[in-house]
């Protein structure tokens, strides 16, 4: 036998001895480690007899299996050493499912190698899965006694990793403890563990320990306080909406369902819900961070950065808001927002010249959360938030009323008014009871004269007193997009004109700054100017031909005559037609001429200036001049 095979067996035996020593010093999962060591012993005992076998008996296939067994036992030793290390064991245990999977993997590999070696052992009995489950339950009992110890070590490690974490230490400790407790509970085969599995599949659960929440709040809503935070394990800036409730009581299922619905929605103009934190005495929704804050803060100068909107921006914002609500209304089942107001539209820069800002709607589909917050807390101070009834539809002020798509449209109309005027709705009244009376009577905030007529009509249609007369969100979206498109075209044309004017000014400045007056210089300038003038005439002539041809082709579908009949409303054209019929000796350009002939300098300066346009028109009626002749 070669020296390599006995060497492999020697190394296997040496590793087995190390594992025996390490198992007695592990901090957790001691029973499962001992079971693993026992199975390794059972596999190695028959191998020791191979140490004295001759090389003719040991096949190459066996040597390969022994090498794999050596690697597997080495992996077992590495993992057991982690559980023995005072600096690592608690991290391996904290995510207990990973530990469970690791033991399962090592046992599977040992079992397969035992079969491959054909050692005469009862592999199925040796690797008994029921025994593994029993060992796991015993280890879990021991771990539950060490919850505080593991949580404290995890907290110390996080504080060492993130030096800036120096607040809410007790809450972070409780978060570590709660997360570990949930992880251990989910490994047990019980009804509660099955319930937790279903709950964790609904949305991403982000523990409090994984968030660094800043002290200064971003704002206060009707049911939550919003803070900027760092998602530590992702290095992302997020916003945390801390809900003002102390316990979920009997609405836990409704609460989870609403968050799950929000979590599944992914749309450009809907705020992305990244997950939620549900821990004892702490309930929060984690969403993407929108740097510019709410539309309300921008319009009413509560944002640190001074931002002003032109009408192109306003149409873009209104269109995006319509898109967001239209998306919610088009879902199956339909999602009604129920609380549309300028505070619930968040902005960030978009970077596109035609759409400088990106708008996202938030706080939709949270009826149960709002209701529970209202029951568990007193009314929020009016100095920090504006009552939602300013945006509420008149039919919702009646007893036994229900939210509908139409009531959302009304609220959207109020936001459109707010966007156009940059005023708080009903700011002319101090008494809220007067505002309620005005709304019930069909009165609306006054629309200033400087509001564009089409935008004004959109507002008035949206807040119509009769819900059935209000347009759908899709109709609003279409109308706003049409106006936005026209405005974009006009802005682009103005930009082109401005660029052209700047170029002309620059050319004039260059000419005025020329001080050389030699003959050669003057000649070069004249040569440079002449092609420019000719090119302008060529382009002009070309555009006229194209325009005339397009009109002629349209008339061709209606008229069948071979010559053009001039319009009665154009006396000049009649005169030209009569002139051409009266003087037949006057020559007309023929189609045999190339485009270069037609647009040569002499033809342009003489023929184009003297010849009327109507003869060209008549020629094209007899034989259309295609664009390809022109373009070439």
Over residues 120-139, the pLDDT tens digits come to 888 888 999 899 989 998 99
The answer to whether the CB of 99 falls within 8 A of the CB of 186 is no
User: What average pLDDT does the structure give for the chain?
Assistant: 77
When pLDDT is averaged across residues 499-506 and rounded to a whole number, the result is 58
Q: In what order do the strands lie in the sheet with 224-231?
A: 211-220, 224-231, 236-243, 282-288, 273-279
Over residues 159-168, the pLDDT tens digits come to 877 766 666 7
Q: Read off the tokens for 254.
A: 């409704």
Tokens 């009509």 locate to 457
Nearest to 110 by CA among 79, 82, 156, 136: 79
**Where is the binding site for ATP, in residues?**
241
Query: E strand or H helix at 176, and its extent?
Result: helix 169-186
Alpha helix segments (H runs only) across 587-626: 595-598, 601-602, 608-610, 614-622
Q: Read off the tokens for 63.
A: 């040597």
The Cα 230–Cα 227 span in angstroms is 10
Q: Check pLDDT > 70 for residue 630.
A: no
| pLDDT for position 59 | 67
Domain chopping of the chain, boundaries: 4-145, 309-482, 535-631
Burial of 261-271, coded b for 16+ CB within 10 Å and e otherwise, reads bbbebeeebbb
pLDDT band at residue 401, thresholds of 50, 70 and 90?
Answer: confident
The answer to whether the CB of 372 falls within 8 A of the CB of 247 is no
| pLDDT for position 7 | 61
| pLDDT for position 1 | 38
The Cα 55–Cα 51 span in angstroms is 10
Q: Exposed, middle or buried, 368 (CB in 10 Å: 0-12/13-18/19+)?
A: middle
| pLDDT for position 615 | 42
Any idea which of 142-151, 179-188, 613-622 has the lowest mean pLDDT?
Answer: 613-622
Looking at domain 309-482, which of 1.20.120.420, 3.40.50.10490, 3.30.70.890, 1.10.510.10 is its CATH number?
A: 1.10.510.10
| pLDDT for position 285 | 93
**Where is the binding site, in residues?**
241
């Amino acid at each position: 036998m070669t020296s390599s095979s006995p060497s492999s067996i020697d190394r296997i035996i040496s590793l087995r001895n190390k594992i025996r020593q390490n198992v007695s010093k592990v901090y957790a999962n001691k029973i499962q480690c001992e079971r693993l060591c026992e199975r390794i012993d059972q596999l190695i005992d028959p191998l020791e007899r191979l140490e004295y076998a001759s090389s003719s008996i040991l096949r190459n296939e066996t040597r390969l299996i022994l090498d794999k067994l050596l690697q597997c036992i080495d992996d077992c030793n590495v993992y057991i050493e982690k559980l023995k290390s005072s600096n690592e064991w608690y991290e391996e245990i904290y995510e207990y499912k990973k530990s469970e999977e690791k033991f399962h993997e090592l046992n599977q590999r040992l079992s397969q190698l035992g079969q491959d070696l054909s050692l005469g052992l009862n592999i199925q009995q040796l690797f008994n899965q029921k025994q593994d489950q029993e060992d796991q339950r015993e280890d879990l009992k021991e771990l539950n006694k060490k919850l505080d110890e593991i949580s404290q070590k995890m907290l110390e490690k996080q504080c060492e990793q993130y030096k800036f974490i120096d607040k809410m230490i007790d809450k972070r400790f409780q978060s570590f403890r709660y997360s570990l407790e949930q992880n251990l509970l989910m490994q047990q085969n019980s009804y509660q563990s099955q319930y937790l599995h279903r709950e964790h599949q609904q949305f991403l659960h982000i523990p409090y320990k994984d968030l660094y929440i800043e002290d200064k709040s971003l704002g206060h809503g009707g049911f939550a306080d919003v803070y900027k935070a760092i998602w530590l394990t992702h290095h992302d800036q997020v916003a945390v909406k801390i809900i003002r409730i102390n316990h979920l009581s009997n609405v836990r299922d409704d609460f989870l369902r609403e968050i799950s619905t929000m979590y599944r929605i992914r749309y450009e103009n809907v705020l992305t819900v990244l997950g939620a934190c549900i821990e004892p005495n702490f309930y929060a929704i984690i969403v993407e961070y929108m740097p510019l804050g709410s539309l309300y803060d921008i319009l009413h100068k509560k944002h640190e950065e001074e931002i002003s909107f032109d009408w192109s921006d306003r149409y873009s914002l209104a269109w995006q808001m319509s898109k967001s609500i239209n998306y919610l209304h088009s879902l199956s089942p339909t999602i009604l927002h129920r609380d549309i107001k300028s505070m619930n539209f968040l902005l960030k820069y978009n970077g596109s010249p035609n759409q400088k800002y990106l708008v996202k709607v938030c706080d939709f589909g949270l009826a149960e959360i709002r209701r529970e917050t209202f029951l568990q807390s007193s009314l929020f101070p009016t100095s920090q938030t504006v009552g939602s009834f300013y945006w509420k539809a008149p039919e919702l002020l009646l007893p036994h009323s229900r939210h509908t798509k139409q009531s959302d449209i009304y609220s959207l109309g109020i936001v459109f008014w707010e966007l156009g005027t940059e005023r708080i709705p009903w700011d002319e009244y101090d008494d809220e009871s007067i505002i309620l009376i005005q709304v019930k009577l069909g009165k609306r905030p006054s629309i200033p004269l400087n509001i564009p007529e089409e935008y004004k009509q959109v507002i008035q249609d949206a807040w119509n007193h009769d819900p059935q007369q209000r347009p759908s969100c899709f109709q609003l979206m279409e109308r706003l997009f049409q106006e936005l498109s026209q405005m974009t075209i006009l802005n682009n044309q103005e930009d082109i004109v401005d660029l052209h004017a700047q170029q002309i000014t620059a050319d004039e400045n260059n000419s005025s700054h020329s001080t050389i007056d030699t003959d050669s210089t003057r000649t070069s300038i004249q040569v440079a100017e002449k092609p420019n003038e000719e090119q302008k005439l060529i382009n002009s002539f070309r555009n006229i031909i194209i325009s005339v041809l397009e009109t002629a082709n349209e008339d061709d579908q209606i008229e069948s005559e071979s010559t053009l009949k001039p319009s009665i409303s154009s006396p000049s054209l009649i005169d030209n037609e009569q002139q051409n019929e009266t003087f037949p000796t006057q020559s007309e350009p023929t189609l045999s001429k190339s485009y270069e002939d037609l647009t040569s300098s002499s033809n342009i300066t003489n023929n184009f200036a003297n010849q009327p346009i109507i003869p060209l028109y008549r020629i094209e009626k007899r034989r259309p001049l295609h664009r390809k002749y022109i373009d070439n």
